[in-house]
A and B are shown apart, each in its own frame.
Chain A
Amino acid sequence: MDNIIGEPKKAFMTGNETVAWACLAAGADIMFGYPITPQNEVMHYWTRLAPKYNRGFLQTEDELSAGFTTCGAVQAGKKAFTATAGPGNVLMQEPFGMAEAMRLPLLAVIQQRGGPSSGTVVYSQQEVTLTTYGGNGEGHRIVYSTATHQEIYDYVIKGFNTAWKYRFPTFILGDGYQAKMREPLEMYDPKDKGIEMTPAYPLIGVPGQIGKDREPQHLCNIYSLEEELYDVVMKVAAEYEAIAPGLVEYESKYCEGAEIIIVSHGVVSRAADDAVKILRNQGIKAGYFRPITLRPFPQQQLRQCIAQSNAKQLLIAESAYGQLERLIKQEIYGETIKIDNLFMPGVGIIDFDIINKVKSII
C-alpha cells in the first residue's frame, strides 16, 4: 500500500477531513456519496485527495444510489465507503439492508444531524436507533461511536479491517460537532502502528475459469421459502454473536464505589468525563461508562460496572430523546438499578448540564 502519511504526524483539522485522510491511509479504493450536511467535506477532501492516489469517487443521484453503488463495488472486491447523515441515512438503510443480508463489508460514516425529518443540519445523537437497527433486518452490523478526531481516524482504519475480516457492514457514528470542529490528532500509516490491513477480495468477477476451475458465482439475496431465509438469518445471527464478545469496546472510569454512573456515548461522553471529574472534586461519587461499540453493545461490561460499584442510580445523558436509553434498557434487562435520564434531543450537552442533573436527582 502507498505510504500516505509518512512519519506519524500531528495534524489540526475537521472531523470530515480526518475521515478522508483515514480512508486514504486505510487503503479505501473508492467513495460513493451524495451531498448532505454535515458530512459534505468528507467528499470535498476525498475528491481532492483521491486522484493523487489513484482512488475513485462518484457523486451519485441520491443516497439510495450511493449505498447501492457502494454495495456493487464491494461485491467486485474493492474497499468502498460512503458518508451521510439524517434523511440520507434513512435512504441508505435500504442498501445497508442489502449489505447486511449479503454480508457486504462496506464502511459508512454517519455524521448525525437533528431530526426527525430534515430537522437541523447541525448536530444530534438521534441516528442511534437508525444506525444500529435500521432497515428490515436484525441489526447485524457493527457500529463504532467516536468521540474525538483521534478516534475518528483510528476507528475508520479499524472499521475497514473489522468489515473485511468479518464481512458485516460497519459504521462510524459521528455527529455534526465532530464533523465540523477542528482539533488536533495524530495521523499515521497503519503499518507504522503495527496494524495490518485486511485485504479486500471479490465475490463476483473472481479468479478462475467458469466451467473449468470453478462454478459461476450466483449471489442470492431473496429466497423462495421461509425455511431458506430462516437458515440464512440464523446462521448470520450465530456468526454475529460469536464474534461480538471480541468486538465490543467501551470505556469505564471511576465506577468503583460510585453512587451514580453516568452513561453516554460519542461526543457527549467528553462532557460526561468532565462532569464526573468536577463532581468528584465536589465530593459526589460519580462514575463514567461509555459504550464505544453500540452494536454489538458492551452489555456484560455495563452489568459488571453496575455490580462492582454498588451504584444506586444510572444517569443516561444523550442528545436524543431516549435512543441510547432504549438500547441500554434492552441490553441490561433484569438490572434493578434506578435509571434517570438527561435527554436533550438535537442539542449539545456540556458538563454543566450533567452536573446540574446529577445534583437534582441524588
Chain B
Amino acid sequence: MAMLAPATPKSWYLPSKPHKFCPGCGHGITLKALGEAIDELGIQQNTIFGCDIGCSLLAWNFFACDSTQTHHGRTTPVMVGIKRARPELISIGYMGDGGGYSIGSQHLLNSAVRNEKVTLILVNNTNYGMTGGQMAPTTLPGQITETSPYGRDVEATGYPTRGPEFIAELTPEGAYVARATVSKYKQLRRFIRNAIRNQMEGNGFSFVEVLSTCPTNWRTNAQQTWNFLEEKMEEYFPVGEIKNPLGKGDK
C-alpha cells in the first residue's frame, strides 16, 4: 500500500529536512503554517526570513528564502533595518518569548509604536527552551522551570506577559495583532497569512504570537503536553485576532 507523504510547502528548503526540533515541539507546526502562507501569497522570492537565538535559530536554513541570523533579542531591529533599507522585500522575523518579551522587549515595543512594516512571529512555549528550560516572561503562575523550581511565584517575579494585548494597545490603526495556537492549525495559518498580507499592503506592524509546546523542558508526555497547551495556556492567553485591518470574513 502506497504511503501518503504529508504535503511539503514549496518554500521549504528540503536539504535542511528533516528539521532539528525536538519531537513534540510546536515550531515545526508553526513553520509549516508559515511555509504554506508564503506559498499561498507567492512571496518566496522576495521574503527575507530572520530568526532569533534560542530554539527559533534552528529554523535558520528552514526556508528556500534568503535568511539571516543575529543575536538573542535583536531580530526585530535587524528586520526593521532590512525593511527600511529595501521596502520592496517582505521582512519576517521569527523569535521565542524570551527573545521577544524579555531581552528584546524594547525593540518589540518601539517597533510596534513606530508601526514598522514588518511581520514578527513569536513562539510562546512558556520557557527558554534552548538554554535548558529556564523561567520566561510567559511562564505560568506556579509553573515549574529550572529557575523557578518551586513554581513561578508571582509575588517575586510578576505575572506572565500577555504580548499581543500590550502590542495592540501600543499600535496605531493599520497594525495586525493576533494570538494563535499550534492546536488550531488552520487558524494559525490564517493568522500568519494575514500578518504577512498586512505588511504587503503596507498597513503597519504585524504580530502573531503562537502558543506552542515544549515537552522536552516541560517533561510531559504527549497527552500532558497537549493538555497543558489547550487547558492551561489557552486559558491564560486568549487565542484570536485582536486587531485586523484586513477586515472580517477572511477565511
Contact = CB atoms under 8 A, between A and B. Distances in A.
A76 B85 contact: yes
Nearest to A66: B77
A210 B89 CA distance: 14
A71 B69 contact: no
A60 B78 CA distance: 12
Best-surrounded residue of A73, A97, A204, A206 (most CB of chain B within 10 A): A204
Contact of A76 (B63, B76, B86, B110): B86
Contacts, number: 131
Interface string A202-227: 11111001110000111111100000
A64 B74 CA distance: 8
B79 interface: yes
A204 B65 CA distance: 9
A38 to B, nearest CB: 24
Given A58-B84, A76-B81, A78-B86, A71 B60 contact: no
Contacts of A30: 84-85
Given A64-B74, A220-B60, A77 B66 contact: no
B74 A56 contact: no
Contact of A216 (B57, B64, B74, B106): B64
Interface in A56-84: 56, 58, 60-62, 64-65, 67-78, 80
Contact of B45 (A29, A65, A209): A209
Nearest to A202: B86
Nearest to A216: B64
A72 B89 contact: no
A206 B61 CA distance: 16
B109 to A, nearest CB: 8
B67 A76 contact: no
A77 B81 CA distance: 11
Given A29-B85, A216-B63, A69 B69 contact: no
Given A30-B84, A78-B85, A218-B60, A60 B110 contact: yes
B61 A72 contact: no
B85 A68 contact: no
Interface in B77-135: 77-86, 89, 106-107, 109-111
A61 B84 contact: no
Contacts of A205: 46, 48, 66, 82, 86, 89
B82 A65 contact: no
* Interface size range of chain A in the complex: 35 or more
Contacts of A68: 70-71, 74, 77-78, 81, 107
B66 A204 contact: yes
A30 B74 CA distance: 19
B69 A220 contact: yes
A69 B68 CA distance: 13
A95 interface: yes
Contacts of B48: 76, 204-205
B72 to A, nearest CB: 10
Interface in B177-223: none
B67 A217 contact: yes
B106 A65 contact: yes
Contacts of B76: 65
B77 A216 contact: no
Contact of B70 (A73, A80, A221): A221
Contact of A94 (B63, B74, B107): B74
Given A75-B81, A204-B66, A218-B13, 8 more contacts: A56-B84, A62-B106, A65-B106, A68-B71, A73-B81, A95-B71, A203-B68, A205-B46
7 contacts: A61-B111, A69-B78, A73-B85, A76-B85, A76-B89, A204-B48, A219-B68
